[in-house]
Amino acid sequence: MKISSMRYLVHQGFKGIWKNRMMSFASFCIMLVSLLMVGISVLLAININRIIGGIEDKSEVVVQIADNSTQQQIDDLKMKIGGLPNVNTIEFYSKEQAWESMVKDMSKEEQDLFQYADDNFLPDTFRVTVHDIQKMTETTTQIDTFENVASTRSPTEFTDTLISIRRILGIISGAIVVALIVVCLIIISNTTRASVFARRKEINIMKYVGAKNSFIRIPFFIEGMVVGLLAAAGALGLTKFAYEGVYSIFNNDFKLWSVLGVSNLYSFEDLFLYVTIAYAAAGALIGAIGTSFSTGKHLNV
């Protein structure tokens, strides 16, 4: 195809947007809302998954070291625990540190009661975090078999609950996103079909004068792609505005929520490139392909 012909078709595509501005505006609004619904659902699912991951990272195995263990035995135990494949970090927490922390959390009356205690009855411990909380029970059992381990404590029931919640939320969010995508595609397809139907006479005239199918489709393809990109730009702006508002609330106004890992929310800057590419690709493809395919039934004259 000649460059001049391509320029003409591109020009016709842009001209068609203005010429049929009411239908183009309807397509724009439908695509904008559709992209927003899917995009916000995906961002919500991603952040819920990260929040749960942040809570999981706070789960740890507490290993009580046997009394009267020598420094060499403690070092050997630390090396053995650190050598386990699922262990992420290991931190020694002395009985002196534990005592200071306990006293600090006491009321004044309780501190007065314990000030005469000569013997620190608290044990030395290791605080161990793991890579995969699904293997926390297995890791705890392995640590129990080591020498100089008095006992171990791990929130296995809590981690099992978190794993179940993550699995359920993953299934629900995936189903919601898929359902929204299907609904959006149907709505967009019907809207573009209505737009093309309103111009069926124009398509028929072009066919009668000998225009090829590809020559007829290209302006519609360009038109749909431009409308899709405009909808993507609008969806990106609205998503950024809404997301940053919610992010500000959770990270600045609700400080206590950080205990639950809500402070682990992704900032929009972290996701900006991915969201922009996803919106632009989805808007352009859906608009262009949906519009050009909708011309098919009107090309058979």
Domain with CATH 3.30.70.3040 in the chain: 60-154
Residue 199 or 219, more confident: 219
CATH of domain 60-154: 3.30.70.3040
% the chain with pLDDT above 70? 68
Mean pLDDT of the chain: 75
pLDDT band at 271 (very low <50, low <70, confident <90, very high): confident
The mean pLDDT value for 153-158 works out to 76
Residue 155's CB is within 10 A of a number of other CB atoms, namely 16
Instruction: Indicate the range of 142-156, 200-214, 240-254, 278-292 predicted with least confidence.
Output: 200-214
pLDDT value at residue 284:
83
Strands 125-130 and 87-93: antiparallel
Task: Note the pTM of the prediction, 2 decimals.
Answer: 0.63
pLDDT at 158 over 80: no
Name the β-bridge partners of 128. Answer: 61, 90
pLDDT band at 179 (very low <50, low <70, confident <90, very high): confident
Q: Choose among 90, 80, 165: nearest CA to 131.
A: 90
pLDDT value at residue 26:
77
pLDDT band at 212 (very low <50, low <70, confident <90, very high): confident
